């Protein structure tokens, strides 16, 4: 007999709970609205669609931190470069470097204009970190590629220090780690040929992601390459004459008295093989060469050219000899720029070799 009254009480409580729930919900929404920007102000946010100083580096119309958050879902090149610029404004150089890396080393190759902005912004980020030398190559590359007048003015305001020019004369101080430093196995003398007179040089990459700079780890990496070349490929020794690790250390590979095994068949004749440790392909598994590697490569190539008296037209990429991705899409333009630089300085090279 009491059941109906109990049911009625439960209904009353349920209605009260519902009203209380609605009140809490309304109060929560009110708090949320009061702590976030008015939606009407930002719901029409449009990310940049082009790359230029007037767009990429425009003064923020809203708080830079907020604009960075609004740009986060967009992974287009204009959005990433704008993000890098904003991160520099709020003094987050590491975040700026990460954003430019997505442009430079992502799956889509940037245009020359896009690369020039990415390189400039990355150089600025390294300078903000107090490591301007790490951005030296990026600034030089931006200077070469820049077509945007505003960017050219920015680059002109920061000329390259003369002291940082790559040496064009052979240097007795050019340190090369001997074979003993990486505990090289002895060559199979029955499977190596005497080197013809040296007349050219070819640049390679090891095609394995590698960022370590510790000498012991670098030595182990070179040992692994030698084992692969001798055990799996049937070479008489490691195929390259020199290898350069990410810190810029130069390691002796196969002795120069023996012809290398790096450019296929007769292409190895009189050809010095130089391999930079790393995988310089585009995409997630790729990386760019370090500034130290590039500078060491330039010094080594200039020294070999002077020692054996040949010109920059005899400097090649592996891909010049056969259909291969080596030394990688991120390395080929670096080699091309080195060759152009050496051609511009060929007069000084000739004068130095005559002394």
Residue 281 backbone class (left: φ over 0; alpha: ψ -120 to 50; beta: rest): beta
Whether 207 has a pLDDT exceeding 70, the answer reads yes
Beta bridge partners of 177: 251
Q: Rounded mean pLDDT of 15-27?
A: 44
Confidence of residue 352 (pLDDT cuts 50, 70, 90): very low
Instruction: Encode 69-86: b = buried (16+ Cβ within 10 Å), e = exposed.
Output: ebbeeeeebbbbbbbbbb
Residue 332 has pLDDT above 80, yes or no: yes
SS3 20: helix
What pLDDT digit, counting tens, does each position of 277-327 carry?
999 998 877 888 998 999 999 999 999 999 999 999 999 999 999 889 999
C-alpha–C-alpha distance, residues 272 and 253, integer Å: 11
Mean pLDDT, rounded, for 89-101 = 92
Question: For 163-187, how does the pLDDT look when each residue is reduced to its tens digit (9 = 90+)?
Answer: 333 443 445 568 999 999 999 999 9
Domains, the chain: 53-164 (1.25.40), 176-354 (3.40.80.10)
Percentages of the chain per state (helix, strand, coil), in multiples of 5:
55, 5, 40
What is the distance of C-alpha 349 from the center of its chain? Answer: 29
Q: What are phi and psi of 233, to 5 degrees?
A: -105, -10
pTM: 0.57
């Amino acid at each position: 007999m009491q059941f109906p009254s109990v049911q009625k009480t439960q209904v009353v409580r349920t209605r009260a709970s519902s009203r209380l729930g609605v009140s809490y919900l309304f109060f929560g929404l009110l708090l949320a609205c009061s702590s976030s920007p008015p939606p009407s102000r930002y719901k029409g946010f449009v990310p940049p669609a082009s790359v230029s100083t007037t767009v990429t580096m425009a003064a923020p119309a809203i708080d830079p931190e907020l604009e960075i958050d609004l740009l986060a879902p967009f992974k287009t090149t204009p959005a990433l470069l704008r993000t890098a610029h904003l991160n520099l404004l709020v003094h987050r150089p590491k975040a700026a470097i990460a954003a430019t890396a997505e442009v430079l080393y992502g799956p889509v190759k940037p245009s020359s204009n896009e690369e020039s902005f990415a390189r400039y912004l990355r150089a600025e980020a390294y300078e903000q970190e107090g490591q301007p030398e790490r951005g030296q190559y990026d600034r030089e590359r931006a200077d070469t590629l820049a077509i945007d007048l505003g960017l050219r003015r920015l680059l002109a305001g920061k000329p390259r220090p003369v002291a940082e020019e790559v040496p064009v004369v052979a240097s007795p101080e050019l340190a090369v780690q001997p074979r003993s430093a990486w505990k090289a196995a002895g060559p199979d003398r029955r499977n190596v040929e005497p080197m013809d007179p040296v007349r050219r040089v070819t640049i390679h990459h090891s095609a394995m992601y590698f960022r370590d700079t510790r000498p012991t780890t670098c030595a182990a990496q070179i040992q692994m390459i030698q084992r692969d070349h001798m055990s799996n490929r049937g070479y008489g020794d490691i195929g390259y004459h020199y290898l350069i690790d990410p810190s810029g250390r130069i390691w002796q590979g196969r002795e120069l008295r023996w012809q290398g095994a790096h450019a296929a068949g007769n292409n190895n004749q009189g050809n010095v093989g130089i391999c930079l440790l790393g995988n310089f392909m585009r995409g997630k598994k790729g990386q760019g060469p370090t500034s130290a590697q590039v500078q060491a490569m330039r010094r080594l190539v200039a020294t070999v050219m002077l020692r054996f008296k040949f010109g920059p037209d005899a400097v090649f990429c592996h891909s010049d000899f056969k259909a291969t991705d080596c030394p990688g899409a991120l390395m080929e333009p670096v080699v091309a720029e080195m060759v152009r630089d050496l051609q511009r300085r060929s007069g000084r090279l000739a004068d130095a070799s005559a002394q």
